[in-house]
Amino acid sequence: MGSWFKCNILRRKAMIKKFNKIIIASFALALLSSCSDFLDRNSLVGLSEESFWKSEQDAVMGVNTLYHANREFTNSIVIYGMMDDFTDISYQSFATGLTTGVFPANAGFYLTSWGIFFKGVYRANTALKNIPAIAMSEAIKKRSIGEAKFFRGYFYFKLWDYFGGVPLYETPINVDESYEPRNTEKEVYEFIVKDMTEAYETLPDTYDASNKGRVTKWAALAMRGKAHLWAKEYAKAAADFKELMDNSDRKLLADFHTLFRVAGNNNSEVIFDVQYIAEQGHGIATDRNYGNARGATTGSQRTRPTPQLVNAFDMEDGTAFNFANYTNAKGQPFNPNSAEDWKDEASVRKLFEKRDPRLQQSIVVPWSTFVGRGGVTYLYKFPVASTDPNAYVPVWTNGSYAWRKFVETGSVYTLQDNMPQNFPLIRLADVLLMYAEAKNETLGAPDQTVYDAVNAVRKRVKMPDLPSGLSKELMREKIRHERMVELAGEGQRYSDIRRWKIAKDVVDKVWMTDFNGTQIRQRGFPDHYYLWPIPQAERDVNPNLTQNPGWE
């Protein structure tokens, strides 16, 4: 036992030494804004941690590495929005992973995510330890400390969401501290709230153009509200979201589709995002993974929307779409599992007419158009017309929907894995719906503020107001439905269905299918999937880490 423990002490020392090197080396790699120049990318080769943290520039560059760590997770394994692939609304074309319910506890996916989040915590703690002693502008010092508090809380929120209780560290970890046991979920939640409260009280509400993309007090308030909502502290959550809605400068962007294009970067709706530029190593791979064969960079459609999602978009009058109520162009029933029915152009066109506008602004459906490479407008004929130079040809030709969200149309950008498209993590529409959810849970029946919040999101796309007189339970379902269609492809539903405890109901044993009913792969969501496993490699090093139920 003694030699085993000594061996692990040496391994942990090596890891800490590596972290010390990483935090310095990563300063040279940190990149934040596609329209800002506040990150200095000069080489820092030769620096040691002892020679760093001496100046205002050091403080700013040190904090900038926190943005880089956040971007690292957004880019890791799957793009953050592709977390929806583990739900009922989209799926991965290639990798199975969490989609099938057979991912082992030692899968690299979990270890990578755990490592990125704790690397971010370490960087934040290092900044918080060193910045107070630096002689520098008090305004920049205050801001930098606020940014570090925000990101420490944010990384702990992600750990809490995915893993449950985890060890809490308030200082850069040393060898002894790295063997701490897990704190309770309640303790982690309270820690997040404390960090976000202090960040909210410290951060500015806006920035000049040269610092566009830095976190604001509104991002901290939104995250504190989100933590309250996840903890079912509904009154506290509603109060935070209401304060943001009433006092921030954030406004819904009129054009929904522009939100998810380069033209929409740094728009009035985004509260917190990950920033990118069109430069090798500093862009995002949305065009590869969300994109299609007719796009500027010939995407792979690694992620695809499901028929369940497409069928969830209501009619434009607010009534639910249902194949049982749909008749084809000849007034006859339409069988969505019949290949022959899908060959009838007039009937398929009719299928997608007079629907919630977000459907075709989010998804490429049969007989819609797509502006692809060179600005050419392609028509998605079905059956797919592979030899027609003017036809849209998806990667998967048997009956596939494709994302329009996050895919540049007529793009002049050619770096497949490095699109300059910022990725939203919190936007005002999300906050409005979280407010409606939290407020509705505090009441016996929804009040006008609940209706107003949901209707504001619907009015932006010219959908009618919700019907009056809804019960608390019916309003809950309406809000959940609205989150599904509004935030599709943005990675929010994976956490939503887990915190609502409906993931097993909507995912487990459900078949991924093409839109014509062809079965592709059966999904799986065992009971223990509501939390990820504590990575086995971490438990091997730290025997005080207990495993989540079902993963032993």
- Residue 98, domain CATH: 1.25.40.890
- Of 132, 159, 146, 118, nearest to 215 by C-alpha is 146
CA distance 429 to 417: 28
Q: Is the pLDDT of residue 189 over 50?
A: yes
- Is 451 within a domain? no
Instruction: Tell me what the pLDDT averaged over the chain comes to.
Output: 89
Q: Is the pLDDT of residue 36 over 80?
A: no
- The CA R_g of the chain, rounded to the nearest whole Å, is 24
- Is 300 within a domain? yes
| DSSP H or E run through 512 | strand 511-513
What local confidence, expressed as pLDDT, does residue 362 receive? Answer: 98
- Is 136 within a domain? yes
Report residue 255 as tokens.
Answer: 């054009």
Q: Is the pLDDT of residue 8 over 50?
A: no
What local confidence, expressed as pLDDT, does residue 173 receive? Answer: 79
Q: Which residue has the tokens 């495993």?
A: 547
pLDDT tens digits for 480-512?
999 999 999 999 999 999 999 999 999 999 999
- Of 522, 445, 431, 525, nearest to 226 by C-alpha is 431
Domain extent at residue 94: 49-203+533-541
What local confidence, expressed as pLDDT, does residue 80 receive? Answer: 61
Q: Is the pLDDT of residue 15 over 70?
A: no
- Is 146 within a domain? yes
- Is 513 within a domain? no
Note whether 533 and 548 are within 8 A (CB).
Answer: yes
Domain count, the chain: 2
Distance from chain centroid for Cα 524: 21
Report residue 395 as tokens.
Answer: 């990667």
Over range 292-301, report the average pLDDT: 84
Over range 119-129, report the average pLDDT: 96
Burial label for 136, CB within 10 Å (0-12, 13-18, 19+), is middle
- Is 430 within a domain? no
Note whether 221 and 196 are within 8 A (CB).
Answer: yes
Over range 226-235, report the average pLDDT: 98
Quick check: helix, strand or coil at residue 532? coil
Separation in Å, CA 93 to CA 304, 386, 411: 7, 20, 24
- Is 270 within a domain? no
Lowest mean per-residue pLDDT among 407-411, 434-438, 454-458 = 407-411
CA distance 253 to 456: 11
| 181/298 same-domain check | no
Over range 411-424, report the average pLDDT: 86
- Taking the CA atoms of residue 146, residue 151, residue 157 and residue 162 in that order, the dihedral angle to the nearest 10 degrees is 180
- Is 29 within a domain? no
What local confidence, expressed as pLDDT, does residue 95 receive? Answer: 66
Percent of the chain with pLDDT over 70: 89
Quick check: helix, strand or coil at residue 27? helix
| Residues 6 or more apart whose Cβ sits within 8 Å of residue 485 | 309, 312, 313, 314, 356, 358, 359, 362
Last residue of a domain, one of 390, 411, 432: 411
pLDDT tens digits for 158-177?
999 999 999 999 999 776 67
Last residue of a domain, one of 411, 431, 465: 411
Report residue 298 as tokens.
Answer: 């010939």
Last residue of a domain, one of 388, 411, 434: 411
Q: Is the pLDDT of residue 48 over 70?
A: no
Per-residue buried b or exposed e for 302-339, using 16+ beta carbons within 10 Å of the residue's own CB: bbbbbbbbbebbbbbeeeebeeeeeebeeeeebebeee
